[in-house]
Structure 1
Amino acid sequence: MSNNIRAIVIGSTGATGKCLIQELLSSNRFSKVTSIVRKTDDTLKNDKLEQVVVDMENLGAYKELFRNKDAAFCCLGTTRKIAGSTENQKHIELDYSSAFSKLCKEGNVKTMHLVTSQGANKDSWFFYPKLKGEIEEAMRVDNFDSLTIYRPGLLDRLTKDRATFENVLVAVLPSLKVSTLAKSMRIACEKEFNEQDSSFIPPTKPVKIFYNSEIYNLAK
């Protein structure tokens, strides 16, 4: 089995991104994982991991990072509270994701894996699903050989600092653990590369969308 898939990740400091990094590092199919960050995580120690501190407002200055990569993962996400306003939230999620996508395409990355959310729709009247839909559309137009979109419903972040309302929602509504989502992303990506020589296998459909049930079943 060949272990020469080279990945680049943005959004690795969030709950899903952290789990994804661990999944990629623990897999013998991935030889190198480049994580684009604002600040390095000193708790992550692995010879396969390269953490690169960048200026997110000027991602175009780091084109070299996107060369010689096979797969890309986008787990970017924030909240209006953290961002300070809906305008800033849109800037962080849409503009950064779009810049990341375009640089990946220019660098000849074959496959993109994007996390959005259930209900994502660029034509929605509501801010959040519209934003997620616009991010999806931005990556669609970049025409990757393969684009896999993950639209999970309620995500269980598996943290002790969850707000009370989060605990209530997780208890009464169907939820998906971020670790399950991360595992499914890793598995879906591995399936796109030949086990013998890690060559990319062109899909019959360039765009795939996975919802909760598909994500869960893939991670089994």
Structure 2
Amino acid sequence: MTKKAVIVGASGLIGSNLLAMLSTQPNYDEILIIARKKTRTNNVKVTQLIIEFAHLDRYAKSITGNVIFCCLGSTRSETPDLDEYRKIDHDYPVKLAEIALKNGIEQYHLVSSISADARSSNFYLRMKGETEEDIKKIGLKSLHIYQPSVLIGYRQSARLLEGISIFFLKITSPLLLGTLKKYRAISAHSVAKTLFKQSLKNQTGVFTYTSDKIKQLSK
């Protein structure tokens, strides 16, 4: 049986790891990348749909498959305009979930953030929490929400301060024990591996994985 995966955000840290993984696995025969610009790949399984996210509805008929992996996300430095930031991290993932339901896509996998909370006073965590809550309301058959902590991995646009922060997190992470384990830094590869593995289980319902659980499931 032909199985098709849709990856949104394939150029990001988690999305690029996931694309590389799915490209070499026999479980998916087709991979559709949805992006604003082309991703460098020559894998025969991959097709690319280049879109304007502000007009997602125009492309709805082309967004089909068995599984959607939504790895969309930005940062304040990349998107200082908070309205634009919210569109990328909230509006587009929610619209994609609505399209997934309408087109009969069985699974939706959303990359969120540790401590996401719709009632948080922090803009970023509140936005991530609202995204989770709004997608839950859509009524998808199978919704998987991943809440990774600080991500470790190669970034093309790495910044000095960010690199220093990750260095110290690598050192201090083993000191985070018990309920604090979920705040340990985690590799983007581990997150991508868990997305892939969970997509093969065909579970129904809503599932949320904090960083420590993601790490455990990736093994």
Q: TM-score scaled to structure 1, two decimals?
A: 0.88
Which of 41, 57, 63 pairs up with 1:60?
57
Amino acid at match of 1:112: Y
Mapped partners of 1:102, 1:129: distance in 2: 22
Percent of matched pairs sharing the same residue? 25
Question: How much has 1:145 moved relative to structure 2?
Answer: 1.1
1:16–1:108 CA distance, 2 compared to 1 (3 A): same
Residue 151 of structure 2 aligns to a residue in which SS?
strand
1:161–1:99 CA distance, 2 compared to 1 (3 A): closer
Mapped partners of 1:82, 1:119: distance in 2: 22
Amino acid at match of 1:23: M
Question: How much has 1:168 moved relative to structure 2?
Answer: 2.5
Mapped partners of 1:73, 1:28: distance in 2: 17
Which of 9, 15, 22 pairs up with 1:24?
22
Is residue 37 of structure 2 the alignment partner of residue 39 of structure 1? Answer: yes
Question: How much has 1:161 moved relative to structure 2?
Answer: 4.6
Mapped partners of 1:209, 1:163: distance in 2: 30
Mapped partners of 2:53, 2:74: distance in 1: 14
Q: Paired residue for 2:3?
A: 5
Amino acid at match of 1:178: A
Q: Paired residue for 2:179?
A: none
Mapped partners of 1:34, 1:145: distance in 2: 21
Q: Paired residue for 2:206?
A: 207
Mapped partners of 2:59, 2:160: distance in 1: 40
Is residue 186 of structure 2 the alignment partner of residue 176 of structure 1? Answer: yes
Which of 173, 195, 199 pairs up with 1:189?
199
Q: Paired residue for 2:135?
A: 139
Q: TM-score scaled to structure 2, two decimals?
A: 0.88
Q: Give the gaps of 5 or more residues in structure 1.
A: 193-201
> Could you list the per-position Cα deviations for residues 113-159 of structure 1 after superposition, in whole angstroms to 9, with x for gaps in the alignment?
00010000111111000010111112101111111110011111323
* Aligned-residue RMSD, C-alpha: 1.5
Q: Paired residue for 2:121?
A: 125
Q: How many residues align?
A: 205
Mapped partners of 2:53, 2:156: distance in 1: 29
Mapped partners of 2:212, 2:75: distance in 1: 25
Q: Paired residue for 1:195?
A: none
Amino acid at match of 1:186: F
Is residue 148 of structure 2 the alignment partner of residue 152 of structure 1? Answer: yes
Residue 118 of structure 1 aligns to a residue in which SS?
coil
Amino acid at match of 2:12: G
Q: Which moved more, 1:155-164 or 1:29-38?
A: 155-164
- Determine if contact 1:12/1:35 at 8 Å carries over to the other structure: yes
Mapped partners of 1:77, 1:21: distance in 2: 16
Residue 125 of structure 1 aligns to a residue in which SS?
coil
Q: Paired residue for 1:217?
A: 216
Mapped partners of 2:84, 2:63: distance in 1: 25
Q: Paired residue for 1:86?
A: 82
Mapped partners of 2:142, 2:87: distance in 1: 25
Question: How much has 1:84 moved relative to structure 2?
Answer: 3.0
Residue 146 of structure 2 aligns to a residue in which SS?
strand
- Determine if contact 1:156/1:178 at 8 Å carries over to the other structure: yes
Residue 39 of structure 1 aligns to a residue in which SS?
coil
Residue 42 of structure 2 aligns to a residue in which SS?
coil
> Could you list the per-position Cα deviations for residues 6-43 of structure 1 after superposition, in whole angstroms to 9, with x for gaps in the alignment?
111211121111111111111110011111111112x3
Q: Give the gaps of 5 or more residues in structure 2.
A: 174-184
Question: How much has 1:164 moved relative to structure 2?
Answer: 2.5
